[in-house]
Amino acid sequence: MILEGRTLAQQIRAPLQERAESVRQKLGRPICLCALGSSEDYAARLYLQKETDAAKKIGIETHIFDINNYTNADGFCQAVKTLATHAQTDAVLIPRPLPEQLAFSDFANYLNPRQDIDGMSITNAGRLFLCKTWEQIKQLPGFVPCTAMAVMRLLDFHHIDLEGKEAVVIGRSSTVGRPLAHLLSCKNATVKLCHSRTDLPRAVKNADIICSAAGTPGLLKTEWLKKGAVVIDISTNWSNNMLCGDANAQELDAAGIFYSPVPGGVGPVTLAVLLENIVLSGERKI
Ligand code: NAP
């Protein structure tokens, strides 16, 4: 079975235009998103354009600043600090990958947690990792990284129960794998967080749910998986001019394994969660 994400994404997006309009009426201005994106990374630029176009469609005012204008961390941190104190900026987005001269740790401290719609700031990350239960996650005043939350929403939408299940997360980035492993554990899954030094065939052998975010096409082999396993493929790789994940969809299909496709799985849900967070950043100003 295919765990598609487009229907859920539509459901999440359906009320957003009306909510954004209601904020506009109460604040006397539209919700404002500022994105600091790289003009030099072609794929990242296209993706950011897709995000800001989707935001504009629901009535969000968007501004894109070129991250490549900052040749060192100091200038970039200053820009993040300026946005953090700008009362009319509701949401700030800093897509990855960052240019070589900039590191995530340089600016994570300066992001205003109220504007930090992708949960990257020290405050939002800290709040997330202090939670132990899903109830606590639901009550967080900040934001959780969108892709990790999108995976949780997709699992919930398809009624994949996590209680007591063995889950494997492949990839330990601070924006995808690490927060996802934590969210799964807050839903009472027992989680293994894997990386490039992990013996993957052994790690996934008994797993009920495998979430793959390694960014390596063909990495996750169908023959490693047990019968009844569920695969959430998060990666977006280009291979032979086609978008694909880490697993081979045809092989998963043939083996009768439930999986989320690339494209059409986690990706559209991530965009919908991002838009929802932008609207929420405005609603919290009322
Ligand atoms: P990242 O920062 O490059 O992290 C990749 C992780 O995968 C690292 O922890 C790395 O291990 C691990 N890894 C790499 N090769 C491996 C291997 N052979 N075996 C096991 N682990 C391996 O990437 P990211 O930002 O987390 O993104 C991961 C993927 O998700 C990318 O394809 C990205 O495009 C995609 N993505 C999709 C969405 C969406 O909405 N669908 C959103 C964000 C990202 P080490 O730590 O040991 O190096």
For the chain, percent of residues with pLDDT exceeding 90: 88
User: Residue 204: pLDDT above 90?
Assistant: yes
Helix axes 266-283, 16-27, angle to 10 degrees: 20
Residue 138 lies in a domain: no
pLDDT reading at 168 higher than 90: yes
| Residue of 41, 234, 239 best suited for mutating to test ligand 1, as the one with most atoms within 8 Å of CB | 234
Q: Are residues 259 and 171 in the same domain?
A: yes
In the chain, the number of structural domains is 2
Q: State which of 112, 134, 160 marks the end of a domain.
A: 112
The answer on 152 and 108 residing in a single domain is no
Distance between Cα 235 and ligand 1 center (Å): 7
As given in the structure block, the two tokens for residue 171 are 């990839």
Answer whether residue 97 shows pLDDT above 90. Answer: no
**Is residue 220 assigned to a domain?**
yes
Reported pTM = 0.98
CATH number at residue 178: 3.40.50.720
Has residue 154 got a pLDDT over 90? Answer: yes
- Give yes or no: residues 249 and 163 share one domain: yes
184 alpha carbon – ligand 1 mean position (Å): 17
In the block, residue with structure tokens 């990958």: 97
At 98, the pLDDT band (50, 70, 90 cuts) reads confident
**Same domain for 100 and 176?**
no
Give the 3-state secondary structure of residue 227. coil
- Domain presence at residue 121: no
Domain extent for 46: 28-112
Please give the average per-residue pLDDT across 92-106, as a whole number: 87
Q: Is the pLDDT of residue 280 over 90?
A: yes
Which residues' Cβ are closer than 6 Å to ligand 1? 96, 147, 170-173, 175-177, 194-198, 200, 213-216, 219, 234-237, 266-267, 270
pLDDT reported for residue 96: 85
- Omega before residue 263 within 30° of 0, cis: yes
154 plus 253 within the same structural domain:
yes
Residue 188 lies in a domain: yes
The answer as to whether 208 is a domain residue is yes
One domain, residues 166 and 230 = yes
pLDDT digits (tens, 9 = 90+) for 49-68: 999 999 999 999 999 999 98
